[in-house]
Amino acid sequence: MAVKTKAQPFLKWAGGKRQLLSEIRKKIPARFHTYFEPFVGAGAVLFDLQPKKAVINDINFELVNTYRVIQNHVEELIAELEKYKNEKEFYYEIRNLDRTQAFEKLTSIERAARIIYLNKTCFNGLFRVNRRGQFNVPFGQYKNPNIVNANVLRAVHDYLSSNEIAILNVDFEQAVEEAKAGDFIYFDPPYDPLSETSKFTDYSLHGFTREDQIRLRDLFVELDKRGCYVLLSNSATPFIKDLYSGFHIEIVAATRNINSDAAKRGKIDEVLISNYDKTLGKV
């Protein structure tokens, strides 16, 4: 009997949490109501936890559109992906669509297929756009990329369509407007850069500044006052540790694999910050 594929990330995404899941699992509250993830990205934590009721969000419209298409039109998406070829000339033809008027005429299914294709075949699986919002990562030249991972796409569809999962494309503050006591919020924002040269927030037109980090901290405090369970991951910079000095801060080592310079990939310190002590079982 074939083993059923488990829902898992269908894209490679900067800051993906697969390699931190063992640490994050230790921090999950034993009981909670609705799960909120305002910076869902590739969804590693969502798919690992698989809550029955969740509100997920991301500022990147193309990513959110892809989630919605998988939730509602997965077979049409798979059929569309079957048309794509791992060829350099074809890659640049698809990549450059967002520089033409034809891009606005693409259906939601065609846009979702384009993002998955580019993610699977571009250099290092990196989603990056320029200041005009145009995808600008070069061709990856991989021999046999898994462009049509139908089993994973269907598994994600099964999870998203058989549970109460709302998919939003709003600012992170709006994404948790309905959060109340007993709900669990996991924040995985763009990380505070370790240095100016390490800054990477170009997964959307909207950068994430230190003012945004402060706004997020203020929201963290507000959610704490509401009686929510709140968990946040970020880089272990002095700025972040000072921002959240009144909460539980744990340093964890994480491996970062998305960097154009292989020498800069490797272990770095990150933080997991919570407003509750799991060992005591209380906020």
Question: CATH number for the domain including 32?
Answer: 3.40.50.150
| Shared-domain flag, residues 140 and 185 | no
CA distance 27 to 187: 13
DSSP 123: G
Instruction: Name residues of the chain where pLDDT drops below 50.
Output: 200-201, 258-260, 262-264, 280-283
Q: Is residue 282 part of a domain?
A: no
| Shared-domain flag, residues 190 and 140 | no
Phi and psi at 52, nearest 5°, equal -80, -25
- Specify the number of domains making up the chain: 2
Beta bridge partners, 184, equal 35, 229
DSSP 282: B
The three-state secondary structure class of 271 is strand
Q: Within 10 Å of residue 32's Cβ, how many Cβ atoms? A: 17
| Shared-domain flag, residues 113 and 25 | no
**Parent domain of 127:** 70-150
pLDDT of residue 157: 98
Taking alpha carbons only, the member of 88, 80, 129, 125 closest to residue 106 is: 80
The helix (run of H) or strand (run of E) holding residue 92 is: helix 88-95
Q: Within 10 Å of residue 178's Cβ, how many Cβ atoms? A: 11
Q: Is residue 9 part of a domain?
A: no
CATH number of the structural domain spanning residue 137: 1.10.1020.10
Q: What is the mean pLDDT of the chain?
A: 90
Taking alpha carbons only, the member of 194, 204, 192, 82 closest to residue 134 is: 204
Of 127, 150, 173, the residue that ends a domain is 150
Of 119, 150, 181, the residue that ends a domain is 150
Of 130, 150, 170, the residue that ends a domain is 150
pLDDT of residue 62: 95
| Shared-domain flag, residues 178 and 142 | no
Axis crossing angle, helix 108-121 with helix 61-72, rounded to the nearest 10:
110
CA distance 119 to 270: 25
pLDDT of residue 129: 87
pTM of this structure: 0.91
Q: Where are the alpha helices (DSSP H) in 122-209?
A: 150-162, 172-175
Q: Is residue 11 part of a domain?
A: no
